[in-house]
Amino acid sequence: MSLLKLFIRRDLADLHRENICVQVIGERENLASDIKSLIEEAENLTRANDGLKLVIAFNYGARDEISRAVRQIAIEVENGSLASKDIDNRLISTRLDTANIPDPDLIIRTSGEMRLSNFLLWQVAYSEFVFVDCHWPDFNRDEFARALSIYQSRDRRFGGLKQEVAS
């Protein structure tokens, strides 16, 4: 929690000056009020910024995110504002923390780990994955360039079949 406080107090003005929009994803209901206020301050201050978008996963877990989205939909069905027949992938996506953020094209997992660790489980359905052995603090421009090169070599089909070249 102290890292978030430090980040907002130290870096928020610079991010705003650089036209960066800050969005925090994750569960907020059980956070202390001072932490909630800091998150809201960062998002409100930078909401209209149209440069880069900085998404911070804070108190985030994908299973929790999906559970909260489903719970919200269930409440809407219970109170009659939504029919169960209208529940589809698009609707569920609109209830996730990342509703206004495009799904990632590339996930780079550092430290040699070969797992997602409860990260963006819904959103990565068609993402490409690159696993690198170096740890995050050592991940540099060269590692990033290698990951991008691997990504660029992939044949992205978004669930479709590979196109055969006619001879």
Measured between alpha carbons, how far is 80 from 82 in angstroms, rounded to an integer?
A: 5
Confidence of residue 69 (pLDDT cuts 50, 70, 90): very high
Question: What's the rounded mean pLDDT across residues 59-68?
Answer: 97
The pLDDT of residue 164 is 60
pTM: 0.83
Confidence of residue 158 (pLDDT cuts 50, 70, 90): confident
The pLDDT of residue 143 is 95
Q: What is the dihedral of CA 101, 105, 111, 115, to 10 degrees?
A: 90
- Non-local (6+) Cβ contacts of 115 within 8 A are 109
Tens digit of each residue's pLDDT (9 = 90 or more) over 3-62: 778 888 889 999 999 999 999 999 999 999 999 999 999 999 999 999 999 999 999 999
